[in-house]
Amino acid sequence: MKLWDKGIPTNKAIEDFTVGKDRELDLYLAQYDILGSMAHVTMLESVGLIKKEELPVLLGKLKELYSEAIKGNFEIEEGVEDVHSQVEFLLTKELGDLGKKIHSGRSRNDQVLLDLKLFTRDAIKEIVESATGLIDVLLERSNETKDVLMPGYTHLQVAMPSSFGLWFSAYAESLIDDLEILLSAYKVTNQNPLGSAAGYGSSFPLDRQMTTDLLGFNKMNYNVVYAQMGRGKVEKIVTFAVGNLASTLSKLAYDVCLFMSQNFGFVTLPAEFTTGSSIMPHKKNPDVFELIRARCNKLQGVSGQISLITNNLPSGYFRDLQMVKEIFLPSFKEMNDSLKIATLALKEMTVNKNILDDPKYNYLFSVEAVNKLVLQGVPFREAYKQVGAEIESGNFQPEKTVAHSHEGSVGNLCLEKISESKKEVLHSFNFNKTEEAIQKLLK
């Protein structure tokens, strides 16, 4: 079944090539296509395109289909082109001509735009929740280990004293900045394209503000041409934002892999969180963090792929955009899985509390020695030369204490401030507004 069928059969090879993976990928969108149809028919009734007594019949059947989609029981049948066709086919099968009325005033173009935005809103919400869980664990571990010193590095050379408290909370704050970028992407996503039809509006007296409110959008894409131009652009913006988050997580994973090696010996994972070697009986490999690193590096490339598909298209709809779904829709699960498994592993990770007992880390405290002389009145450059001479002659004796007290340093992590930043960005998403609107629509 094809919504555009005019009685001329399509060549089978052409049909297979053009449909591509839509039947498989559109299952991601099924519940959202049904929600969009519920809002659309409610609006159609309000402007007189559906009779008052017809609306509850349509909404009742759509709610049944929504329930099946939520349970994972919705299928796109063989011969049905996409999710939009399947929903209309099922309504028509059950309700006859009434089912055929739901497409008035819209196109598959604005349907898929809407479906993708509704899907993306929920996907972002899930990622935000998972990232928040990881931030909370990082802040907890930071507080637990705030007094456990470790080496800090520049150029991978031993540099200055750091602490696990600093290390854990650095990634917490980085993830919060990533959420700020994701918030901007969410705002771009949370605009209603429904009613733009094929990209040029409709002669029907559609009430676009009504569907905007019913679906809990913050506002609509006002210009119908721009609504269509948003296809591909929204996905690129969102995956760029997700890629930032993936970049932070990849760097964290690399640190853990490095710190777990015997050459460092800074952290260990429980045996059940590691894998072994088929020939080396001593091996305990951090495969989980290596795969997090690889997946997150791959996710950083998704926005670039979308750019290459879309960046030379003029305004209007083109079938090229179908290809975006193949890399866009599955990317959220990969990001979410990586966040959740990192949270689990970091919660159980053990830190080495005696790293700095090794004399190779003595030079970490050279800056502390310089600063001590400066506090005694020695000019900084002279103090630097004096400590440098002691190091070169082998006479440097470190005092392995750190007295940093300024904001964000070893002795003043500002964990409360970082936590407040997290709460502020979470509040700005205002997920409750969309949730309340969707629940009201479903009732």
Look at the block and give the residue holding tokens 């894998």.
275
Name the CA dihedral angle for 191, 196, 198, 201, rounded to a multiple of 10 degrees: -160
Residue 375 pLDDT: 93
pLDDT band at 353 (very low <50, low <70, confident <90, very high): very high
Residue 19 pLDDT: 64
Fold of 109-146+163-357+413-442: Fumarase C; Chain A, domain 2 (1.20.200)
Q: Is the dihedral of CA 304, 307, 308, 309 positive or negative?
A: positive
Residue 296 pLDDT: 98
- Do the Cβ atoms of 286 and 262 come closer than 8 Å? no
Residue 16 pLDDT: 65
For residue 17, pLDDT over 70 is answered with no
Percentage of residues in the chain having pLDDT higher than 90: 85
428 has catalytic annotation: no
Residue 79 pLDDT: 81
Tell me the C-alpha distance between 311 and 305, whole Å.
10
**Which of the following is catalytic: 155, 278, 282, 393?**
155
Q: For 12-104, CATH number?
A: 1.10.275.10
For residue 178, pLDDT over 90 is answered with yes
Averaged pLDDT, 319-335: 93
Tell me the C-alpha distance between 303 and 117, whole Å.
16
pLDDT band at 23 (very low <50, low <70, confident <90, very high): confident
Tell me the C-alpha distance between 205 and 105, whole Å.
9
Residue 206 pLDDT: 97
The lowest-confidence range among 11-20, 32-41, 98-107, 279-288 is: 11-20
Mean of the per-residue pLDDT values for the chain? Answer: 93
For residue 9, pLDDT over 90 is answered with no
Residue 218 pLDDT: 97
Name the CA dihedral angle for 283, 289, 294, 299, rounded to a multiple of 10 degrees: 170
Averaged pLDDT, 54-77: 95
pLDDT band at 281 (very low <50, low <70, confident <90, very high): confident
- Do the Cβ atoms of 126 and 65 come closer than 8 Å? no
pLDDT band at 4 (very low <50, low <70, confident <90, very high): very low
Residue 3 pLDDT: 54
282 has catalytic annotation: no
Residue 325 pLDDT: 92
Tell me the C-alpha distance between 376 and 8, whole Å.
92
Please state the separation of Cα 427 from the chain's center in Å.
17
Q: Choose among 41, 26, 42: nearest CA to 85.
A: 26
Averaged pLDDT, 21-29: 84
Each residue of 141-170: b (16+ CB within 10 Å) or e? bbeebbebbbbeeeeeebebbbbbbbbbbb
pLDDT in tens, 367-405: 999 999 999 999 999 999 999 999 999 999 998 888 889
DSSP 8-class letter at 364: G
* Per-domain residue ranges of the chain: 12-104, 109-146+163-357+413-442
**Which of the following is catalytic: 277, 315, 427, 428?**
277
The lowest-confidence range among 144-153, 191-200, 202-211, 318-327 is: 318-327
| CB atoms inside a 10 Å sphere around CB 304 | 13
